[in-house]
Amino acid sequence: MISTPSPCKPSRAIDAWGTPPHMPPTKGGACKLPRPMTTKKGQGMSVQDRIKNEVEGTPVVLFMKGTPEAPRCGFSSAVVEVLKHFGVAYKGIDVLQDEEIRQGVKDYANWPTFPQLYVKGEFVGGCDIVREMAAEGELETLFKDKGIPTRAA
Ligand SMILES: N[C@@H](CCC(=O)N[C@@H](CS)C(=O)NCC(=O)O)C(=O)O
């Protein structure tokens, strides 16, 4: 089951900028190649446009601390576990790698903390909301309504 998150603390250091899309395990063990955040600094886009592109360009996006493979915060880790539980494919974006994105995402949803989950461009919530929605069956309904494939959980 989904366990209670531990306090926010680093697990281990990572050095990649941005994080690859996280795919649930496939039968053949195949996994898509890592790709960074699709819109990088210095391309003339505002940070708000970069964020908008991300959340509208990928069905499920998790702004988090650390990566899906190595979360650096208990709250982020808890949402990773929820998404894993549902077998949903998503892109994790490590806000610790980019201060501009870290602040910009807070402004984008007017939400002050991480993690932040987006489904089909819409902000769903942080750790507490996602866990509660998962427990109430609302998250599964949301995924279904939005056409996000899930593994029977
Ligand atoms: N109640 C929040 C807990 C998350 C939280 O408190 N996150 C903090 C510590 S990891 C945070 O993101 N602070 C802002 C920051 O570090 O920029 C939730 O449900 O997501």
Cα–Cα distance for residue pair 108/17, rounded to 1 Å: 20
- Pocket (CB within 6 angstroms of ligand 1): 8, 65, 73, 75, 102, 113-115, 126-128
Whose alpha carbon is nearest atom 14 of ligand 1?
113
Angle 144-26-3 from CA coordinates, rounded to 5° = 65
Indicate the pTM of the whole model. 0.81
Question: What's residue 18's pLDDT?
Answer: 43
Distances (CA, A) of 17 to 20, 33, 41: 9, 15, 11
Boundaries of every domain in the chain: 47-145
The CATH T-level fold of domain 47-145 is Glutaredoxin (3.40.30)
Q: Which residues of the chain have pLDDT under 50?
A: 11-19, 27-34, 39
Q: From ligand 1's centre to the CA of 29, what distance in Å?
A: 33
Query: Which ligand 1 atom sits nearest the alpha carbon of residue 74?
Result: 10
On the CB side of 98, CA atoms within 13 Å amount to 22
Question: Which conformational region is residue 121 in: left (phi greater than 0), alpha (psi within -120 to 50 degrees), or beta?
Answer: left
Ligand 1 centroid, distance to 35 Cα (angstroms): 25
* Residue located nearest, by CA, to atom 13 of ligand 1: 113
pLDDT the model gives residue 44: 79
Determine the angle formed by the axes of helices 138-145 and 74-86, rounding to 10 degrees: 60
Contact 78, 139 (CB under 8 A): no
Q: Which atom of ligand 1 is nearest to the CA of 75?
A: 4
Atom of ligand 1 nearest to the CA of 131: 19
CA distances from 55 to 49, 122, 137 (A): 10, 8, 23
Nearest-atom number in ligand 1 for the CA of 79 is: 20
**Are 62 and 68 spatial neighbours (Cβ–Cβ below 8 Å)?**
yes
- Give dist(CA 96, CA 66) in Å, integer: 7
Q: How far is the CA of 75 from the centre of ligand 1 (A)?
A: 7
Query: Could you tell me which residues come within 8 angstroms of residue 4 by beta carbon, excluding any fewer than 6 positions away?
Result: 78
